[in-house]
């Protein structure tokens, strides 16, 4: 049976030897909840922890320049229970080689409902609640879904070059098939564009059947940079503007 004093010492010792990381109430199961809350709050007042949000604390490490500050590069290691964080927008397009632009603002996507602003930065554009399957994606696969969600509009290439590069990259190492496995959880436009690309790449109709059946045939989608795909109309693309 833990006394409050003994529990406080156990918590403080665990944090001291835990290094740079996040701490939550769940990390101290088996200890009195009141003692956990009081100890974490006390360590925050002492400057040993930084309170990020309700029930979430960050333990910095000491550097020659003072206390460390977590950044998106370390977010993946520091937030394992929040869901993965991936580049989004222009950053995702850049990862895939569709642009050399540097984004004016950091932009990330995550399956989590939120991420602590003190970790990712107040000015970061955050897209939350991506489908749970994103947690099992590689950074490149997530970038593809993000790029297709934007209909390729984050590409600085012409529509023709965007399409050609997309098809070339998706033809490598079964990349298209990898995306297809998780595509049904993506928004309709993303599924439609992926289907049009698959048909253009010569994929068998049976492979694309579930993707097609998941779409409402009465819907029409903005294909963005992919509007010049010869198969776009087959996948319910909106007609191109004559302007």
- Please tell me whether residues 241 and 176 are part of one structural domain: yes
- Please tell me whether residues 77 and 54 are part of one structural domain: no
What number is the average pLDDT over the span 113-130? 82
The answer to the question of residue 162 being in a domain is yes
Give the CATH number for residue 12.
1.10.10.10
Boundary (domain end) residue, out of 49, 67, 85 = 67
- Please tell me whether residues 167 and 220 are part of one structural domain: yes
The answer to the question of residue 193 being in a domain is yes
Give the model's pLDDT for residue 218: 97
Boundary (domain end) residue, out of 144, 169, 197 = 144
Give the model's pLDDT for residue 158: 97
pLDDT surpassing 90 at residue 134: yes
What number is the average pLDDT over the span 169-188? 96
The answer to the question of residue 198 being in a domain is yes
| Rg, Å, the chain Cα set | 23
The rounded distance, in Å, linking the Cα atoms of 234 and 197 is 11
The answer to the question of residue 149 being in a domain is no
Give the model's pLDDT for residue 106: 87
- Please tell me whether residues 242 and 161 are part of one structural domain: yes
Mean pLDDT of the chain, nearest integer: 88
Task: Give per-residue pLDDT as tens, 32-90.
Answer: 888 999 999 999 999 888 887 778 888 887 766 666 655 555 555 555 555 688 999 99
What number is the average pLDDT over the span 161-190? 97
- Please tell me whether residues 94 and 53 are part of one structural domain: no
- For residue 66 the two structure tokens come to 């003072």
The rounded distance, in Å, linking the Cα atoms of 214 and 192 is 9
- Please tell me whether residues 20 and 58 are part of one structural domain: yes
The answer to the question of residue 150 being in a domain is no
Q: Based on the structure, what is the number of domains in the chain?
A: 3
The answer to the question of residue 108 being in a domain is yes
Q: Which DSSP string do the residues of the chain spell out, in sequence order? A: ---HHHHHHHHHHHHHTT-SEEEEGGGGTTS-HHHHHHHHHHHHHTTSSEEEETTEEEE--EETTEE----HHHHHHH-TTT--EEE-THHHHHHHTS--PPPSS-EEEESSS---HHHH-TT-EEE----GGGGGS-HHHHHHHHHHHTTTTT--S-HHHHHHHHHHHHTGGGHHHHHHHHGGGS-HHHHHHHHHHHHHTT--HHHHHHHHHTS-TT--B--GGGTT-TTGGGGTBPPPP--
- Please tell me whether residues 205 and 137 are part of one structural domain: no
Boundary (domain end) residue, out of 118, 144, 170 = 144
- Please tell me whether residues 162 and 238 are part of one structural domain: yes
Give the model's pLDDT for residue 77: 57
The answer to the question of residue 233 being in a domain is yes
What number is the average pLDDT over the span 130-153? 95
Give the model's pLDDT for residue 78: 56
Percent of the chain with pLDDT over 90: 61
Across 1-10, 129-138, 160-169, which has the greatest mean pLDDT?
160-169
The whole domain housing 32 covers: 4-67
- Please tell me whether residues 46 and 88 are part of one structural domain: no
- Please tell me whether residues 10 and 85 are part of one structural domain: no
């Amino acid at each position: 049976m833990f006394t409050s004093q003994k529990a406080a010492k156990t918590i403080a010792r665990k944090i001291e030897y835990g290094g740079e990381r996040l701490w939550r109430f769940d990390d101290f199961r088996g200890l009195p909840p009141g003692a956990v809350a009081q100890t974490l709050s006390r360590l925050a007042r002492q400057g040993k922890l930084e309170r990020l949000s309700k029930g979430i604390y960050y333990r910095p490490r000491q550097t020659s320049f003072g206390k460390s500050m977590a950044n998106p590069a370390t977010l993946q290691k520091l937030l394992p229970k929040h869901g993965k964080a991936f580049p989004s927008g222009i950053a995702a397009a850049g990862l895939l080689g569709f642009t050399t632009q540097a984004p004016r603002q950091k932009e990330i996507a995550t399956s989590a409902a939120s991420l602590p602003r003190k970790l990712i930065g107040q000015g970061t554009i955050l897209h939350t609640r991506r489908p749970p399957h994103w947690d099992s994606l590689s950074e490149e696969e997530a970038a593809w879904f993000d790029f297709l969600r934007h209909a390729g509009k984050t590409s600085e290439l012409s529509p023709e070059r965007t399409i050609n590069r997309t098809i070339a990259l998706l033809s490598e190492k079964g990349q298209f098939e990898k995306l297809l496995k998780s595509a049904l959880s993506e928004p309709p436009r993303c599924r439609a564009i992926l289907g049009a690309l698959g048909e253009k790449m010569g994929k068998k109709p049976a492979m694309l059947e579930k993707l097609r059946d998941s779409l409402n045939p009465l819907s029409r989608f903005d294909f963005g940079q992919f509007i010049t795909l010869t198969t776009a109309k087959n996948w319910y693309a909106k007609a191109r503007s004559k302007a």
